[in-house]
Structure 1
Amino acid sequence: MKDSKLAPRLLTIFMTVIVATIALGWPPLRAQTTGGAAARIQTYYQELMPTIQQAGRLSVRERDKRFAPAITGAFDIPTMTRLAVGPAWTSFSPPQQAAVREAFTRFIVADYASQINNYSGESFVVDPQTTPESRGGGEIVKTKILQPSGRAVIINYLVRGGRVVDVYLNGTISDLATRRDEFGSIVSSGGADGLIKRLQERTQSLLSK
Structure 2
Amino acid sequence: MKLKYTSTGNRYERKKEETRQKIIDVAMKLFYKQGFASTTLEQIAEEADIARKTLYNHFPVKEDIIIEYLHRFITERAPEIEQLIKEYSDIRSRLVIVLSRILEWTSQLMTKDIFRIYVSYHVQKILTATFDEILRSGAHSFVVKIIKLGQESGEIRRDLPLEIMISQADNIRVSAGMNFLMDPDKFDAQDYITKSVDLFLGGARDVPDRNR
User: Do both proteins adopt the same fold according to a TM-score greater than 0.5, normalized to the shorter chain?
Assistant: no
* TM-score of the superposed pair, with normalisation by structure 1: 0.30
Give the structure with the higher percent helix: 2
In proportion to residue count, which structure has more strand?
1
Between structure 1 and structure 2, the one with the greater Rg is: 2
Structure 2 length as normaliser, TM-score? 0.29
- More RCO (CA 8 Å, sep 6+): 1
